[in-house]
A and B are shown apart, each in its own frame.
Chain A
Amino acid sequence: MSESTTAVVVGAGHAGLAASHFLTERAIDHVVLERGEVANSWRRERWDSLRLLTPNWLNRLPGHHYGGPDPDGYLSMGEVVEFIDRFAALVDAPVRTGTTVTSVRRTDDGYRVRTDRGELACRTVVIASGACNRPAVPRLSEALPDTVEQVTPFAYRGPDQLPDGGVLVVGASATGVQLAAELRRSDRPVVLSTGEHVRMPRMYRGRDVLWWMEAAGVWDERHDEVPDLTRARRLASPQLAGTADRTALDLNVLTDLGVELVGRCAAVRDGELLFSGGLRNVVALADLKMDRLLNTFDEWADVAGTGSDVKPPERFEPTRVPASTRLRLDPRGGEIRTVVWATGFRPDYTWLDVPVVDEKGHLTHDGGIVDSPGLYALGLPVLRRRKSTFIHGIEDDARDIVDHLADYLAGRG
């Protein structure tokens, strides 16, 4: 006879712990299953120099917020782990660490959760295992010659770990621009391959751009109000870094550092990397979208009014693109010794034996309510709101999901 509980939460990151907080508040009996330790991905799957993109004052979880001396700073990974650890203690979450879920199956009255430490029967399951379980590396990587070292952000810790010589960074999300800058500063030649990306200044009109995202209500936009939800859910992370000097890290900054820009990595043919000739357009799209976002901020400020420290509207230099960019690069020439694949991440649902994953590996859900009774998700991009994947974005989502879950248990769902 296996153990039973009402709800099983998969994952003890900030999302799973927030779910636990609201489940406890409603006295719903539950356990949180964690393959490693609390905040495991933050501990083991991030590079050394990474800091949170959100300023400290914005880091809040239900009943828990940053109380340290530097509200405008950005937490290091160690500090994020401490922050989430403190939250776990505060919530007194029933976490079982070192417990890997190997299978979740439907039963007549709920789900059977199999782990490497035994089975649990439950009525409902909350999937809070994260959106970034595996680096997504394009298939064309397989065609690269063996002389080139290939690294994903999961394995990357710092420049010292890479062989001397040039690096091609593929992808210009937050990850790609941060690693390109760091590698360039380590005195390596760096080429950055850039497809569609999201440009953002770090500071706008004297305030953190993420202050504007929150104040102007952009982050609160609900999933059912977002015009193109599919696109919004697969958008790259914005080109931001949490550095002490609070400076921008856009393509112009990288160009000034000496990083060479090329188009999207389109193919490897006869061992040679081929890049798109469409760089100028992806850059134009990103500049236009940034300006549109800044217009949104200005329009909000005109109506709402802002503090006297907020400076007048400003616009930033358009992204400079070289008159001609390279369309091919032969790594066998020795110019590039390493390729860093900053091409995004995918969730891993190989353990989920419920038919709710589409052909692209994404969960089929409506605002976190998965297409199987009693099954829920948290912490995925634009799950219920634009802020869903940010630490401060989890509270509203977790409350909504646990409300729905409680209604379901009461036979009202």
Chain B
Amino acid sequence: MTAIDSIDNGVNVQALLEAREVLKGAPEAAQFTWRSTTRWENGVHTTSTVKNFFGLGAEQTHKAEASFTADHPEVFAAEDHGITPIEYLLVGLGSCLTAGIASVAQNRGIQLRSVEATLEGAHDIRGILGADSDVRNGYDGIKVTFDIDADASKEDIEALVAQSQKRSAVFDALTNPTDVTVHIV
């Protein structure tokens, strides 16, 4: 048994590597569409559900529908039924980078014992309030701090964290502009 076989972060890297090979020659199967539906409840309180997506040339379904409540805190004069939408971005980024770390570690034969990401997004709310037109609506910057315990050198852990950013969908979506179109039916 080699060192790589004996480590287990619970990621099926073999399946991912095989998928990469297959999709190299089949770009059409690699086209995914992720979907969510948001329903207004009351005030700034909404409920979003996620169940279906499209990929590998067919409609796909998650094992179960997931439901997410968003609201704003009481300091925003709201009822705080759930986290604010911009906090969901932190959730997305943290989970994407952490999943990336587990995958890259598995591929590189690094056993992880614990990984914890702490995310902080600096946000000047004068933008969304329209108090100052020079202030942007979104984050000024996001800081991610990883605390990783693994069988690896400091350099190898740094490389893991760098590679997970390089291959992260959410990191890319937040750091690079994306074309967003909004329609009314």
Chain A interface residues toward B at CB < 8 A: 196, 263-264, 266-267, 269, 274, 276-278, 281, 284-285, 288, 291-292, 324
Contacts and interface: CB of A to CB of B under 8 A. Distances in A.
B155 A291 contact: yes
Interface stretch (B8-16, B60-68, B109-117, B170-178): B170-178
Nearest to A359: B27
Contacts of B57: none
Given A291-B155, A324-B141, A284 B162 contact: yes
B175 A267 contact: no
Given A288-B155, A324-B141, A269 B177 contact: yes
B145 to A, nearest CB: 13
Contacts of B166: 196, 281, 285
Contacts, number: 38
Interface in B124-156: 140-141, 155
A278 B171 contact: yes
B171 to A, nearest CB: 7
Given A278-B165, A278-B171, A324-B141, A284 B177 contact: no
B176 A276 contact: yes
A196 B162 CA distance: 12
Given A276-B175, A281-B171, A285-B163, 19 more contacts: A263-B175, A266-B176, A266-B177, A267-B176, A276-B176, A277-B174, A277-B175, A277-B176, A278-B175, A278-B176, A281-B165, A284-B158, A284-B162, A285-B162, A285-B166, A288-B159, A291-B155, A292-B155, A324-B140
30 contacts: A196-B166, A263-B175, A266-B176, A267-B176, A267-B177, A269-B177, A274-B176, A274-B177, A276-B176, A277-B141, A277-B174, A277-B176, A278-B171, A278-B172, A278-B175, A278-B176, A281-B162, A281-B166, A281-B171, A284-B158, A285-B162, A285-B163, A285-B166, A288-B155, A288-B159, A288-B162, A291-B155, A292-B155, A324-B140, A324-B141
A264 B172 CA distance: 11
Contacts of A276: 175-176
When A and B form their complex, which 7 residue pairs have the shortest distance between CB atoms, in order from nearest?
A: A277-B175, A278-B175, A266-B176, A281-B165, A267-B177, A284-B162, A274-B177
The secondary structure that dominates the B interface is helix
Q: Which of B155, B163, B176 has the most CB of A within 10 A?
A: B176
A316 to B, nearest CB: 14
Interface residues of B, number: 15
A49 B71 CA distance: 60
Nearest to A291: B155
Contacts of B155: 288, 291-292
A269 B177 CA distance: 9
Contacts of B159: 288
A276 B163 CA distance: 17
Contacts of B171: 278, 281
Nearest to A323: B141
Contacts of A264: 176
A288 B158 contact: yes
Contacts of A281: 162, 165-166, 171
B161 to A, nearest CB: 8
A277 B142 CA distance: 10
Nearest to B156: A288
Contacts of B174: 277
A285 B166 CA distance: 9
Contacts of B158: 284, 288
Contacts of B175: 263, 276-278
Contacts of A196: 166
A263 B174 CA distance: 13
Contacts of B177: 266-267, 269, 274
A288 B140 CA distance: 27
- Indicate the member of A267, A278, A324 with the most B CB atoms within 10 Å: A278
A264 to B, nearest CB: 8
A280 to B, nearest CB: 9
Nearest to A283: B162
Contacts of B162: 281, 284-285, 288
Interface in B2-61: none
Nearest to B172: A278
A281 B168 CA distance: 12
Contacts of A274: 176-177
A269 B163 CA distance: 28
Most buried by B among A196, A277, A292: A277
Nearest to B24: A230
Contacts of A278: 165, 171-172, 175-176
A361 B26 CA distance: 18
Contacts of B176: 264, 266-267, 274, 276-278
A359 B125 CA distance: 46
A269 B174 CA distance: 16
A164 B162 CA distance: 39
B30 to A, nearest CB: 14
A264 B159 CA distance: 20
Contacts of B172: 278
Contacts of A288: 155, 158-159, 162
